[in-house]
A = this chain, B = another copy of it.
């Protein structure tokens, strides 16, 4: 069985694809029974779709692949802490485990901005693992925004 760092490195590869189309570089991989069933990156601006985050794109692909809206027994590896929308979707999907790299202080839904797992009466609590390849996952985002600001200043 491959380890968390291995799958996060693939999520980072997805994040790099987002860079190529000038999207915030976030990537995600969904794994079931040690097989990758979805790979996705952020496409919100290019597709003009609010559900274009890496996690939502990966969930949609996994729903299609499994022909089911439930993702029981699946693990998502995502380079950044999911936002409230994506975190809510992951809970709804009954995903087994959420592994993320960098925290998102501005909108992270599992520790940084709020912890949605503290909501009353929710019927599913995925396991959460954070900080996997944290530095690389964080650096690719901060480099992106630094470059973007420099371009705008010119």
Where the two chains meet, the residues of A that have a C-beta atom closer than 8 Å to any C-beta of B are 44-45, 47-52, 56, 59-60, 63, 67-71, 83-89, 91-93, 105-107, 109, 112-114, 116, 118-123
Knowing that A50-B69, A51-B51, A51-B60 are A-B contacts, what are 11 other residue pairs whose CB atoms are under 8 Å apart, sorted by A's residue number? A47-B69, A49-B63, A49-B69, A51-B56, A83-B88, A84-B88, A84-B116, A85-B85, A106-B121, A107-B122, A112-B121
* Interchain CB contact (< 8 A) of A50 among B48, B59, B106: B59
* Interchain CB contact (< 8 A) of A114 among B56, B112, B119, B123: B119
Tell me which residues across on chain B come within 8 A of A85, comparing CB atoms: 85, 88-89, 91-92
Tell me which residues across on chain B come within 8 A of A87, comparing CB atoms: 84, 88
For the complex of A and B, 4 pairs with smallest distance between CB atoms: A85-B88, A84-B88, A114-B119, A50-B69
Number of copies: 2
Q: What is the CA–CA distance of A123 and B113 in the complex, to the nearest angstrom?
A: 11
Q: What is the CA–CA distance of A92 and B89 in the complex, to the nearest angstrom?
A: 13
Q: What is the CA–CA distance of A87 and B47 in the complex, to the nearest angstrom?
A: 21
Tell me which residues across on chain B come within 8 A of A51, comparing CB atoms: 51, 56, 59-60, 89
Tell me which residues across on chain B come within 8 A of A109, comparing CB atoms: 84, 88, 119
Closest to A84 in B: B88
A120 and B113 within 8 A (CB) = yes
Query: Would you give the shortest CB distance from A34 to chain B, in whole angstroms?
Result: 22
